[in-house]
Structures are given as C-alpha cells and as structure tokens.
C-alpha cells in the first residue's frame, strides 16, 4: 500500500510540475503575442504620422502620433476594472482569452484603416478607436495573466513565475521591433508608406487563434461558483435532495436555520460577485500604494523601451534601422534575465531588489544620456539601451509580483488590474507625449533623463509603506 501511495504521489507531483510548466509557457506565448500587437504601433510612429496627420509639422505629426499611442492607455483602467472583475467572477483563463480576441480586433482595424489621403479624418478616427480597444484589452490582460501565474506558483517561487509576465512583455517588444526593423531594411520608403507598415498588424491578426488555442488548455485557478460545496448544498435543496448529514441536522427541520446553514465558510470561498466595489471600498489604501509603486517602472518602460527609437532618430540623427535594433536588444535582455530577476527577488525579497535597482537607475540616467548626446552613435545607443534594460528588468519584474500579492484571492485580479491600469494610464501611456513636449519647449535633449529621474524617485518612496510578502502564503488573507 505504501508503494502505491508513493507512486500516486509521484504521479501527482509530475502532473503538477507539468501543469505549471504549461501555464508558464502558455501565459508567456499568449502575452507576448498580445504585447506584440499592442506595442508594434510605437515602432511605426515615424511612418504612420505623415500618413494620418499630413497637415501637421514634423513635430506635430510626432506629437499627434504619440498621443494616439497614449490614447490606448486611457482605456487601460477601464479594461482593468471590467475584465479584472470578469476574471474574479468567471475565471482568469476566460478573461485572458477575451483580451486576446479584443487585441486582434484592434489590429484588424489598424491594418484596414484608410490613410488621410484616402478618406480624410476617417483614418485617424479608426486609428484612435483601434487603440482604445487595444488599451481596453491590455488593461485586462496583465492582471489576469499575472494572477494566474502567481496562483499556480509555490510560495517560495512566486517571483520566478510572475517574472515571466515581464519576460513575455519584453519578448513581444523584441518581436515587434525586429519585425519593423526587418521591414525597414528590406523595403523602400515608398513601399513602407504604401503597404509595408500594415504587415505587422496583419501578423498580429494571424497570431490570435494560436494564442486562443494555447490559453483554452490552461488550468483555471479560480474556483467556480458551481463547484463550491455551498452551491452543491443549495442545488441539492432546490432539487429536493438532502445529504445524510443534512437529514440528521436540526437545521433540516427549520427553514430559517436551514437557510443560515447554507452560509458556510466553504460557500464564502466562491468568487465575489462585486469585486470592483470591494476593491474600492475595502482596499483603497492598497490601490493608492500600488499605483504609486507602479508609476516608476511604467515610465521607464515607455521611454527606454518605446520612445528611444524615435528620440535617437529625430533628436540625434541616428539611422532608423539601428534605433529599431536597439529596441530588439532591450526586449531580448528583458526576456532573458527576467526569470533570474524573479529568482533573486524570491531569495532576498522584492523590496530590496526594487529599491537598489531604482537607485542605480536614477544615478545612471544622466550620465548615460549625456554620454549618448555628446557623440551619438549606434554603438553608444546599444550600450546605453543594454545597461538601462538590465536596470528596467531588475525593478519591474518584482513590482509585477508584488501587485497581486497585495490583494486577497476573491478580488486579486480586479485589484491588480485597477492598480496597473491606473498607474500606467497617464504617467506611462502619455510619457512619450510629455517628453516630446518637454523636448520642444526646453530644447534640451536631456529632458527625457530628468523626467525619468523625477518619476522614478517619487515612485520609490512608497516602498516604505508596502508589506513585502516574499515567501509568505497569500491565500490565507481574509477574502
């Protein structure tokens, strides 16, 4: 018998390990496809600007295009609230599949959008609508996928598991930048303006069924209401059946007491039907702390990851292809080192990794930008991007882990989505817009560095008021 029990235990462990690897792979692939769809727009801003905003000046085109990119972030809080609430009621997997199809719809609208020369303002309007849909989808994607990873992970490996969220985002950025770089290198400027810029969005549409299939086969971590013991009891009572325990219980002979008996602790583990209201009424302080925490990393990601190609090309005069390959380097570094950052955070704690990496970022920004601006070159750009990419991964991966750890399971996806969506919507999404405006107003090429230094510093202070739950159980919190 002991041999049989040991064998069965081994099979369960193997199944658990296999399932967890499948969750990491499925979440990473699906998330990378979504972030490819969402971020590839920014690598095409210099092509899209003249096509959809021809009446504006060069500066105006860039400003309007970055604003169109930023509009997608306005819908992130809305998507986070609604899709996050959906995930806390109907499951993380269902929410992740929904966001994937919405992202594909946004890609389809962009790919089919007529230019200003073809249909006037119809093209820009469709472009903005597409970005709103994609922002709505991205707002729900991060919360649902990160929560799924955290809930599948052992307590001492949550940093490693959730680091794949940041790693998959980096992979999507790398693939988007690489696709645009290859198109720019192989097509003429006329071909890029005529049809080449649409190719990445067509690719994004084609990847949606692949991601949806992968996600449909992931194991859910949220207990469905129908599967809870309390609901089984309700279904039995409604059907006129009772269990032996119910028949012998005094509650079985009293309608009032029977009704009370159905409100058992087991029934309370069912998903909350009002997760959004609970987040804003019961966890307001956590929401504020989480938003302040996430701002620093999101601004760094937007400026270093997405704005640098346009900045290096427009402000420093570097070739467009080399600036795009710099973003490929950034994405590759983030993808490769994110799991190691997660393991480091599991070993020494989230707060230590975040604090010291942000301190190093603030110290490195000004020298990096001064060195690059003093003698712009592809080699210097690659070096600066590589260094800042390492620091970005060190601060962002642990933050993504801390956010779902703040909230109890019944409202975890909603809380994570609200914090992430609100934190990134203005400061992150419009970071490129603010920096473009600052560069124009001040004429100082160091403006991006100063903007980053201020926001990262302010975002780091809140760490002192956030509990570090590294290695601690998170599902023992009161739901």
Q: Tokens representing 468?
A: 């570090």
- In this prediction, residue 13 carries a pLDDT of 44
- In this prediction, residue 3 carries a pLDDT of 42
pTM for this predicted structure: 0.80
Pairwise CA distance, residues 302 & 70, whole Å: 10
One digit per residue, the tens of pLDDT, for the chain of length 479 reads: 444 434 444 434 434 677 788 888 888 888 888 888 878 888 888 888 889 888 666 667 767 777 777 777 778 889 888 999 899 988 888 898 899 899 999 999 999 999 989 988 898 889 889 988 988 988 888 888 899 899 889 999 999 999 999 999 999 999 999 999 999 999 999 999 999 999 999 998 988 888 888 777 777 877 654 444 444 443 343 334 444 444 444 444 444 433 333 333 333 344 556 899 999 999 999 999 999 999 998 889 888 877 777 788 888 899 888 888 888 999 999 999 999 999 999 999 999 999 999 999 999 999 999 999 999 999 999 999 999 999 999 999 999 999 999 999 889 999 999 998 888 876 776 787 888 888 888 989 898 899 999 999 999 999 999 999 999 988 865 44
Pairwise CA distance, residues 102 & 79, whole Å: 11
Q: Tokens representing 353?
A: 């990794």
Residue 258 located in a structural domain: no
Sign, Cα dihedral of 165, 166, 167, 171: positive
At residue 344, the 3 state secondary structure works out as helix
How distant, in Å, are the alpha carbons of 229, 260, 428 from that of 251? 17, 8, 56
Over the range 19-35, which residues count as b (16 or more CB within 10 Å of their CB) and which as e?
ebeebbebbbbbbbbbb
- In this prediction, residue 53 carries a pLDDT of 82
Residue 103 located in a structural domain: yes
Say how many domains are in the chain.
1
Q: Which of 83, 68, 177 is nearest to 125 (CA)?
A: 68
Residue 325 located in a structural domain: yes
Number of neighbouring beta carbons within 10 Å of residue 461: 11
Pairwise CA distance, residues 84 & 95, whole Å: 8
Residues whose CB is less than 8 angstroms from the CB of residue 227 and which lie 6 or more positions away in sequence, other chains included: none
- In this prediction, residue 476 carries a pLDDT of 64
- In this prediction, residue 309 carries a pLDDT of 73
Please give the backbone phi and psi of residue 50, each rounded to the nearest 5 degrees, phi first. Answer: -65, -25
Pairwise CA distance, residues 66 & 153, whole Å: 37
Q: Tokens representing 285?
A: 């302080």
Residues whose CB is less than 8 angstroms from the CB of residue 231 and which lie 6 or more positions away in sequence, other chains included: 225, 267, 270
Q: Which of 105, 93, 106 is nearest to 144 (CA)?
A: 93
Residue 289 located in a structural domain: yes
Q: Tokens representing 260?
A: 């009370």
Interaxial angle between packed helices 58-74 and 412-425, expressed in degrees from 0 to 180 and rounded to the nearest 10: 160
CB 166 within 8 A of CB 396: yes
DSSP string, 227-295: GSHHHHHHHHHHTT---HHHHHSGGGG-HHHHHHHTS-TTGGGSPPS-HHHHHHHH-HHHHHHHHHHHH
- In this prediction, residue 58 carries a pLDDT of 66
Torsion of CA 203, 205, 206, 211, to 10 degrees: 110
CATH number at residue 192: 1.20.1250.20
- In this prediction, residue 467 carries a pLDDT of 92
Residue 242 located in a structural domain: no
Pairwise CA distance, residues 242 & 218, whole Å: 35
Residue 92 located in a structural domain: yes
How distant, in Å, are the alpha carbons of 215, 290, 349 from that of 161? 17, 20, 15
Residue 295 located in a structural domain: yes
CB 406 within 8 A of CB 146: no
The secondary structure of residue 250, as a DSSP letter, is G
Q: Which of 389, 382, 387 is nearest to 335 (CA)?
A: 389
Pairwise CA distance, residues 31 & 38, whole Å: 10
Residue 164 located in a structural domain: yes
Residue 393 burial (CB < 10 Å; 0-12/13-18/19+)? Answer: buried
Over the range 51-68, which residues count as b (16 or more CB within 10 Å of their CB) and which as e?
bbbeeeeeeebbbbbbbb
Pairwise CA distance, residues 268 & 410, whole Å: 10
User: What is the residue range of 401's domain?
Assistant: 8-222+271-465
Pairwise CA distance, residues 188 & 186, whole Å: 7
- In this prediction, residue 262 carries a pLDDT of 36
- In this prediction, residue 240 carries a pLDDT of 43
Pairwise CA distance, residues 46 & 352, whole Å: 39
The secondary structure of residue 55, as a DSSP letter, is T
Please give the backbone phi and psi of residue 371, each rounded to the nearest 5 degrees, phi first. Answer: -65, -40
């Amino acid at each position: 018998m002991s041999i049989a029990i040991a064998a069965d235990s081994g099979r369960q462990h193997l199944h658990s390990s296999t399932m967890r690897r499948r969750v990491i792979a499925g979440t990473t692939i699906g998330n990378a496809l979504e972030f490819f769809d969402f971020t590839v727009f920014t690598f095409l801003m210099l092509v899209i600007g003249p096509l959809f905003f021809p009446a504006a000046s060069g500066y105006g085109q860039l400003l309007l295009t970055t604003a169109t990119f930023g509009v997608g972030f306005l819908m992130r809080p809305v998507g986070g609230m609604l899709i996050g609430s959906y995930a806390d009621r109907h499951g993380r997997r269902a929410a992740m599949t929904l966001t994937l199809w919405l992202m594909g719809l946004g890609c389809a609208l962009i790919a089919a959008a007529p230019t200003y020369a073809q249909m006037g303002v119809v093209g820009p309007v469709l472009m903005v609508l597409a970005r709103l849909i994609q922002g709505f989808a991205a707002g729900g994607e991060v919360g649902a996928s990160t929560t799924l990873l955290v809930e599948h992970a052992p307590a001492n490996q949550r940093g490693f598991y959730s680091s794949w969220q940041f790693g998959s985002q980096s992979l999507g950025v790398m693939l988007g930048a690489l696709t645009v770089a290859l198109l720019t290198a192989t097509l003429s400027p006329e071909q890029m303006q005529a049809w080449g810029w649409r190719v990445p969005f067509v690719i994004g549409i084609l990847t949606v069924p692949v991601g949806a299939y992968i996600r449909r086969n992931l194991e859910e971590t949220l207990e469905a209401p129908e599967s809870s013991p309390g609901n089984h009891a309700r279904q039995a009572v409604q059907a006129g059946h009772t269990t032996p325990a119910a028949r012998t219980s005094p509650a079985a002979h009293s309608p009032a007491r029977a009704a009370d008996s159905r409100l058992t602790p087991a029934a309370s583990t069912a998903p909350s039907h009002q997760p959004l209201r609970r987040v804003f009424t019961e966890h307001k302080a956590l929401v504020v702390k989480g938003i302040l925490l996430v701002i620093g990393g999101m601004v760094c990601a937007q400026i270093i990851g997405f704005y640098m190609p346009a900045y290096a090309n427009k402000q420093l005069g570097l070739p467009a292809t080399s600036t795009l390959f710099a973003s490929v380097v950034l994405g590759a570094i983030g993808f490769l080192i994110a799991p190691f950052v997660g393991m480091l955070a599991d070993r020494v704690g989230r707060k230590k990794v975040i604090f010291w990496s942000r301190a190093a970022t603030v110290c490195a920004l000004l020298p990096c930008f001064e060195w690059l601006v003093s003698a712009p070159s592809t080699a210097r750009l690659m070096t600066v991007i590589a260094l800042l990419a390492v620091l970005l991964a060190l601060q962002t991966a642990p933050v993504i882990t801390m956010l779902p750890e703040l909230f109890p399971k019944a409202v975890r996806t909603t809380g994570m989505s609200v914090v992430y969506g609100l934190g990134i919507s203005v400061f992150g999404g419009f970071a490129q817009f603010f920096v473009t405006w600052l560069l124009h107003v001040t004429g100082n090429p160091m403006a991006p560095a100063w903007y980053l230094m201020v926001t990262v510093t302010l975002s780091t202070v809140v760490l002192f008021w956030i509990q570090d739950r590294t290695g601690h159980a998170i599902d023992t919190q009161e739901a």
